[in-house]
Structure 1
């Protein structure tokens, strides 16, 4: 086991930068919001930097509320919770409140696929056409922003690796522009729910009625890029849900429940909000023109409706406690609470750099970094980090060298309005380093 002084050196050398373990989508200018001091509590002396950060965001009114977690090894998470779930509420937040985690669903889907790879039911470099023949002869846009009828043949098959790492050449309505974006909307390739209200910044279109229909319709559209050539954020993890169904012989949501949620005790993680859980649910806000606008309230949330299908890329609701259990399992090499949930090899492979050789990341969110099973991985001095974030301000990661895991849960869109992707990991690093120095009585 690595001694504490060595861990201090690792954290000094490795550090984390803004894109080291996190990701997200969307940028809008800053905001001046209503002040929210409800249920403020003293700074946690164990986590001074994290406490100060969360206090600053909530006390200034930039956030209605937030829950931060920091876990060491297999120990239960330490928590800093400030504010409320819904503006005007009198109840404080805690580990069991529910949040829309959006793209933090992707690592869960990615690890589900890694289970099947470990069991020999999927191959990392297996063509998905083995399960979905419609993808055997794909066409690719001659120009990524050009007309959808100007195409060339795909030069390679889409593989499971490509879906895991956003290198399949698939598009995303939150990323693409031009005719291909409209083609996705027309086909219902919009695996994301935001609000019952039509919003100016979010695409509104009828969604494909099932995961099978989603896959079939997607196979009929051209790719944006040649498979394996570049990292481009996409619906790859949603399509992977269908591959998981066919490889496992189990419906996707049922597979996640049986293989991950039940063994980990993730009783608050689902694709739909149950009536009994409404009181624990948070409200989501849009930051627009300097105001905090409620776009999806807890009581009348769109998540109370069953989704057309389980969105493996951005569909889950979860709690800080639940997601910490998932992260703890990864940090434990597939073991949680003394029980093996995943194979150690599956976790090691899924949290490593799986990008195809030659795939470019230049100009993307992960430039200079790798990508594993649905999450960013650190390279070089940052090796051993893995994680991802969500479109409504949530984020989660592990650091194997530090032996820690961290999570931040709040609800605002667009996530990139605030620099929390940078600020929160830096605060965690500061508190971890301070703790290690204190335990070893090493001078700073």
Structure 2
């Protein structure tokens, strides 16, 4: 196909990769006593608003498919699915289909760090320079997104807490503008990937090879904000992957597999999709004027290649069933199927509001909300979303876990990050009144 259709600002790398769940509706579940009604309503018919949302998008081919998993406590999740792995294909999407979860990688990375904090191998407020000395004397842009030579010294060290909560002052190539954005691109500080296809607007800058190299090069870039002063979406969770490597003595991807994926029974979550699993991999679409156009075909996906480094901020592919198991483990305060993956304390702290007292959220996506280890934390809810339309959360007050997977970019093309939690809330409110 011709890709000149994508030559538009809405298909910039900035818009395509930016993601994050807007969980205000998820937070509204707090305090509502839905747990008592859950036992008698474990059927798809219990979720008409969620089913209607899926039918609206998958049924009308706005997207190829949508799969939702909804579960109470430690009970088996219900699945609502519609559509095929690719538009025009025959293979049905379901709980074991594979999706690029992008920024839904961040809560997994955050919980990986919480495991090490619980074991005393990391400190929540430990300066990361203790583990990566290159971060000892950071410099900060005097003007946000301004000159990269007019700098001032950092007023405080970057800590593990700051990496988890996007308050370290680090930038993001998909957020920043001007000279600092160019610097990130020229130095390969690109912790995200979209397609092998040469699509105009995405940029073709080459990422550095190796998480250690990424971390060292990033340390030479100026910060965009003083550490600990403001929430600003960043590469913090990617850098946290390197901190995890140093603290654990293991490669980051191996650590996640050994400490989270294997014990939680997540056997379909990878940084690289194995060739043997391509038959259940979805195609990712770009939305142009309301029409989905193939952006990353499954059979030729960039996720079949080994990435330059394991990207803790946006690198994982997972299935609805696997991510539901991650949520189930969190809802069980670290336990799933009777097996402890994390301590209760680690989960409680990681899903709580960890924002530094010195940091503001005013004027940001999360204004008035809290932020935990890689995900939004507010009023009993914890979760985040991904740049290709995925969104997931747990709500401790309701004892509920909810996850929606689909594949389209940019995430702002459709209001799914808002619409899914709202649909869940609508259905739960109706259940309460029955």
**Which one of 380, 384, 397 corresponds to residue 384 of structure 1?**
380
CA drift at 1:60: 2.1
Question: Are 1:310 and 2:310 an aligned pair?
Answer: yes
- What is the alpha-carbon distance in structure 2 between the residues aligned to residue 323 and residue 93 of structure 1? 15
Question: Are 1:130 and 2:152 an aligned pair?
Answer: no
Superposed, 1:38-437 pairs within 5 Å as: 44-378=44-378, 383-437=379-433
TM-score by length of 1: 0.88
Q: Is the 8 A contact 1:173 1:203 kept in 2?
A: no
Aligned residue for 1:230, secondary structure, equals coil
CA drift at 1:87: 1.0
Per-residue deviation, residues 179-217 of structure 1 (Å, max 9, x unmatched): 000000011110101001133332321101100000000
Q: Is the 8 A contact 1:99 1:409 kept in 2?
A: yes
Aligned residue for 2:205, secondary structure, equals coil
The worse-fitting range, judged by mean Cα deviation, of 105-114 and 56-65 is 56-65
- What is the alpha-carbon distance in structure 2 between the residues aligned to residue 136 and residue 248 of structure 1? 21
Q: Is the 8 A contact 1:231 1:364 kept in 2?
A: yes
CA drift at 1:437: 4.0
| Count of matched residue pairs | 398
Aligned residue for 2:408, secondary structure, equals coil
Per-residue deviation, residues 372-424 of structure 1 (Å, max 9, x unmatched): 0000011xxxx110000000000110000000010000000001111112211
- What is the alpha-carbon distance in structure 1 between the residues aligned to residue 208 and residue 27 of structure 2? 34
| Runs of 4 or more above 4 Å deviation | 18-21
Aligned residue for 1:295, secondary structure, equals strand
Other-structure match for 1:35: none
Aligned residue for 1:107, secondary structure, equals helix
Provide the aligned C-alpha RMSD in A. Answer: 1.3
CA drift at 1:433: 3.0
- What is the alpha-carbon distance in structure 1 between the residues aligned to residue 309 and residue 177 of structure 2? 25
CA drift at 1:17: 2.7
CA drift at 1:291: 2.6
Other-structure match for 1:17: 24
Per-residue deviation, residues 137-187 of structure 1 (Å, max 9, x unmatched): 000001112121110000000000000000000000110000000000011
Per-residue deviation, residues 295-347 of structure 1 (Å, max 9, x unmatched): 10010101111001100000000000000000000011110011111000000
Q: Is the 8 A contact 2:26 2:393 kept in 1?
A: no
Per-residue deviation, residues 45-72 of structure 1 (Å, max 9, x unmatched): 1221111111111222211110011110
- What is the alpha-carbon distance in structure 1 between the residues aligned to residue 197 and residue 122 of structure 2? 40
- What is the alpha-carbon distance in structure 2 between the residues aligned to residue 290 and residue 331 of structure 1? 36
- What is the alpha-carbon distance in structure 1 between the residues aligned to residue 203 and residue 341 of structure 2? 37
Aligned residue for 1:263, secondary structure, equals coil
- What is the alpha-carbon distance in structure 1 between the residues aligned to residue 204 and residue 66 of structure 2? 28
Unaligned runs of 5+ in 1: 1-15, 22-42, 439-444
- What is the alpha-carbon distance in structure 2 between the residues aligned to residue 84 and residue 304 of structure 1? 20
Q: Is the 8 A contact 1:19 1:366 kept in 2?
A: no
- What is the alpha-carbon distance in structure 1 between the residues aligned to residue 24 and residue 348 of structure 2? 22
TM-score by length of 2: 0.90
Other-structure match for 1:39: none
- What is the alpha-carbon distance in structure 2 between the residues aligned to residue 66 and residue 85 of structure 1? 9
CA drift at 1:19: 8.1
Other-structure match for 2:3: none
